[in-house]
Structure 1
Amino acid sequence: MLSTTVGTKVVKLLVIALSVTALTNAVAEDGMPEVELQTVMEGLTSPVMLTSAINDERRFVVDRTGYIYVLDAEGNQLEEPFLDISDQLIEFQEAFDERGLLGLAFHPNYQQNGRFYVYYSAPLRDEAPNDWNHTSVISEFKATQPEEGMRSQSNTTDMSSERVLLEVDQPQFNHDGGSIAFGPDGYLYIALGDGGAADDVALGHPPMGHGQDTTSLLGSILRLDVDRGWPGYAIPQDNPFVVDPRGLDEIHSWGWRNPWRMSFDRATGDLMVATNGQNLWEAVYEASEPGNYGWNILEGTHCFDTQNPNTTPPSTSCDTVGPLGHELKLPVIEYPHLRNQGDRAIAGISVIGGYVYRGSAIEGLQGRYVFGDWSQSFSQPEGQLLIAHPTNSGSEGQLWSIGQIQVLDSYILGFGEDSAGELYVMTTANTGPTGNTGAVHKLVPAQSE
Structure 2
Amino acid sequence: MKPVKLIVPLLALMLAACNVNQKDDDMEPLPPTGTENPETPVEEPETPAAETPSDRDDDDFTVPDSFQPEEYRLEDAFPGLTFKEPLALTHDETDEDTVYVVERHGLVYSVSLEDSQEKAVYLDLSQVVDISGQEMGLLGLAFHPQYKDNGYLFVNYTKEGKTFISRFTHEGVSPVDLSTEKVLLSYDQPFSNHNGGSLLFGEDRYLYIASGDGGSGGDPEDNAQNLESYLGKLLRIDVDTEDQAYLLPEDNPFKGQGGNILEEIYAYGLRNPWKFSFDPGRNLLIAADVGQGEIEEIDLIESGGNYGWNRFEGTSTYEEGSSIENHIPPVYEYPHSEGKSITGGFTYYGDDMDSLKGAYIYGDFISGRIWALWFDSDLKAENHDLLDTDLMISSFGLDKEGEIYIIDFQGKIYTMKEED
Q: Same fold (TM over 0.5)?
A: yes
Residue identity in the other structure for 2:399: D
Q: Which residue of 1 aligns with 2:359?
A: 368
CA separation of 1:75 and 1:290: change in aligned 2, threshold 3 A = farther
Please give the secondary structure, in 2, of the residue aligned with 1:364.
Answer: helix
- Whether contact under 8 Å (1:210, 1:216) holds in the other structure is yes
Q: Which residue of 1 aligns with 2:411?
A: 438
Residue identity in the other structure for 1:336: P
- Whether contact under 8 Å (2:91, 2:398) holds in the other structure is yes
Q: Please list the CA deviations of residues 43-102 of structure 1 after superposition, one character each: whole Å capped at 9, or x if unmatched.
A: 212111111113442111111111111111404254431011011111435xxx111111
1:58 aligns with 2:98: yes
Q: Which residue of 2 aligns with 1:265?
A: 279
Matches within 5 A, 1:336-415: 336-338=335-337, 347-376=338-367, 383-391=368-376, 394=378, 398=380, 400-415=381-396
Q: Please list the CA deviations of residues 120-144 of structure 1 after superposition, one character each: whole Å capped at 9, or x if unmatched.
A: 111x2xxxxxxxxx11111001113
Q: Which residue of 155, 166, 170 maps to 1:139?
A: 166
CA separation of 1:249 and 1:407: change in aligned 2, threshold 3 A = same
Normalised by the length of structure 2, the TM-score is 0.80
How much has 1:229 moved relative to structure 2?
5.9
CA distance in 2, matches of 1:91, 1:235: 31
1:161 aligns with 2:180: yes
Q: Which residue of 224, 233, 254 maps to 1:241?
A: 254
CA separation of 1:409 and 1:320: change in aligned 2, threshold 3 A = same
Please give the secondary structure, in 1, of the residue aligned with 2:412.
Answer: strand
CA distance in 1, matches of 2:102, 2:197: 12
CA separation of 1:77 and 1:176: change in aligned 2, threshold 3 A = farther
1:212 aligns with 2:217: no
Q: Which residue of 2 aligns with 1:228?
A: 241
Q: Which residue of 303, 307, 322 maps to 1:289?
A: 303
| Unmatched tracts of structure 1, length 5 or more | 1-28, 125-133, 146-153, 308-317, 322-326, 339-346, 377-382, 429-436
CA distance in 1, matches of 2:233, 2:242: 21
For the aligned residues, what is the CA RMSD? 1.9
Q: Please list the CA deviations of residues 367-399 of structure 1 after superposition, one character each: whole Å capped at 9, or x if unmatched.
A: 0000001123xxxxxx111111013x516xx4x
Please give the secondary structure, in 1, of the residue aligned with 2:148.
Answer: helix
- Whether contact under 8 Å (2:104, 2:131) holds in the other structure is no
| Unmatched tracts of structure 2, length 5 or more | 1-65
Please give the secondary structure, in 1, of the residue aligned with 2:120.
Answer: coil
> Which is worse superposed, 327-336 or 361-370?
327-336
Aligned residues: 351
Q: Which residue of 1 aligns with 2:330?
A: 331
Please give the secondary structure, in 2, of the residue aligned with 1:36.
Answer: strand
- Whether contact under 8 Å (2:300, 2:331) holds in the other structure is yes
CA distance in 2, matches of 1:176, 1:110: 26
1:420 aligns with 2:401: yes
CA separation of 1:266 and 1:52: change in aligned 2, threshold 3 A = farther
CA separation of 1:75 and 1:284: change in aligned 2, threshold 3 A = farther
- Whether contact under 8 Å (2:67, 2:374) holds in the other structure is no
Please give the secondary structure, in 2, of the residue aligned with 1:272.
Answer: strand
How much has 1:240 moved relative to structure 2?
1.5
CA distance in 2, matches of 1:230, 1:265: 32
Q: Which residue of 1 aligns with 2:10?
A: none
Residue identity in the other structure for 1:34: E
Residue identity in the other structure for 1:139: S
Q: Please list the CA deviations of residues 406-426 of structure 1 after superposition, one character each: whole Å capped at 9, or x if unmatched.
A: 221221111001111000011
- Whether contact under 8 Å (2:393, 2:407) holds in the other structure is yes
How much has 1:159 moved relative to structure 2?
2.0
CA distance in 1, matches of 2:126, 2:104: 9
Percent pairwise identity:
36
How much has 1:288 moved relative to structure 2?
3.9
Q: Please list the CA deviations of residues 192-224 of structure 1 after superposition, one character each: whole Å capped at 9, or x if unmatched.
A: 0000011101xxx2xxx0010000111111100
Q: Which residue of 1 aligns with 2:63?
A: none
Q: Which residue of 2 aligns with 1:181?
A: 200
Q: Which residue of 2 aligns with 1:89?
A: 129
1:107 aligns with 2:155: no
> Which is worse superposed, 407-416 or 222-231?
222-231
How much has 1:403 moved relative to structure 2?
2.0
Please give the secondary structure, in 1, of the residue aligned with 2:181.
Answer: strand
CA separation of 1:194 and 1:239: change in aligned 2, threshold 3 A = same
Residue identity in the other structure for 2:162: T
Residue identity in the other structure for 2:334: Y
Please give the secondary structure, in 2, of the residue aligned with 1:227.
Answer: coil
